[in-house]
Amino acid sequence: MTKITGVKCIRTRRDGMWTIVKVLTDQAGLYGIGSASDVRHPETVTKAVETIAPMLIGREAGNIEDNWQSIYTSGYWRNGSILNTALAGIDMALWDIKGKEANMPVYDLLGGPCRAAVPCYAHANGRELPELVEDIQRYVEEGYQVIRCQLGAYGGGGFLSPSQARLPKGSWTRGVVFDDEAYLENIPKMFEYVRSKLGFDVKLTHDVHEHLRPQVAVQLSKLLEPYRLYFLEDALAPEQVHWYKLIRDQCTTPQAMGELFVNPHEWMPLITERLIDFVRVRVSKAAGITQCRKIASLCEWFGVQTAWQEGGDNDPVNQMAACHLDMTCWNFGIQEENHFSEAELELFPGHAILEGGYLYPNRAPGLGMDIDEAKAKAMLNTDAASRPSISGEPDRRTDGTAVRP
């Protein structure tokens, strides 16, 4: 019986925005790693892991389900983003340990692969339409079959200059402002232009990033139907998911949702009522591999596919956990890409390989990767100045109202 002897957090990248959990055991050289990264609350998540750690000491590392359930209810209040992330880091590490003990990759423990590799979608953008088409073509040449299209930053197509927006006196808004109707006008035009240049051979997605009022999201979904999107992502904020029923009644534009989901009550109705086509939960924010394999099974019975969320703040360990789930889930749909620098990848020997639009895990036991703690510490010490702003200042409408998310 392998016992847990310690749990620690390793902070790295840009002043510690990545948090990697390392679970130690009483077997010489046997440990596991997992992702507990939260770019906006790294210190809080680290403290949560450290608070949970004492209850794990002496427990059997292989009892993953029991350990998960025990941590899940340990704080009484549950399904919060901080506890979920801390739990995910521990959960991934325990799966990593179990795979190493069995001398099998995690995806073999989960039932074995049902595909040769994991197809990913790329992120294309451009400030102007010709620039966007050029970026899409670049990814097509690299081998990507599904490509996300954005006009610049999130909300691009909906931004107005101060003169266009006619701001009120004493405006709270600095720079451009977001306008729902401008977005509704410009995004269908974007897809009309892209399809006129590239046809329908390439599969396209778009991320609304929850910027729109619910009724405008319904209109947009309907207007985009002729352009046959692979999916429209996060058309609604989590607080407005009941509007998906109206979207479904109005059109067949496939819907992907869940980047901000942490609670089963958020994703369950959308799945069981068949109101979305892809679930977009981040593996670490849904509390790890143990929970996400259950989400995937639920989705399978209702014809919904998985498209686990990544994003630029994510780390290679969470990406690898998603990759193992992708390899074994029959109803996998597509995986979001994530590009890391060579220096970042050097921290994680055995990391997944992204090539030609596909993500490849290796055949090594467990998650198949490790962390070089010396290099992780060095990056933490030297890369602090490049940490991005995480103030969370939102886009705003003409009158100053904050735009979600």
pLDDT per residue as tens digits for the range 324-356? 999 999 999 999 999 899 999 999 999 999 999
What is the per-residue burial (b if ≥16 Cβ within 10 Å, else e) of 163-195?
eebebeeeeebeebbbbbebbbebbbebbeebe
Residues classed as catalytic: 154, 209
Mean pLDDT of the chain: 95
pLDDT given for residue 172 in this prediction: 78
275/95 Cα distance (integer angstroms): 32
- pLDDT at 39 > cutoff 60: yes
Model pTM greater than 0.85?
A: yes
- pLDDT for the residue 385: 45
Looking at residue 383, what is its pLDDT? 46
Region 219-240 average pLDDT:
97
Q: Cβ distance 117 to 352 under 8 Å?
A: no
Label residue 167 by pLDDT band (50, 70, 90): confident
pLDDT in tens, 184-218: 999 999 999 999 999 999 999 999 999 999 999 99
Where on the phi/psi map is residue 210: left (φ > 0), alpha (ψ -120 to 50), or beta? left
Q: What is the mean pLDDT of residues 27-33?
A: 97
User: Which residue has tokens 């953008």?
Assistant: 125
Handedness of CA 87, 88, 89, 92 (dihedral sign): positive
Q: Given a cut of 60, is residue 389 above it in pLDDT?
A: no
Q: Is the pLDDT of residue 145 over 60?
A: yes
Confidence at residue 390, expressed as pLDDT on a 0 to 100 scale = 53
Contact by Cβ (8 Å): 193, 130: no
Q: If we measure between CA atoms, which residue out of 331, 312, 321 comes closest to residue 359? A: 321
Lowest mean pLDDT among 226-235, 302-311, 321-330, 385-394: 385-394
Q: Averaged over 374-388, what is the pLDDT?
A: 70
Please state the CATH superfamily assignment of the domain spanning residues 109-365 in this structure.
Enolase-like C-terminal domain (3.20.20.120)
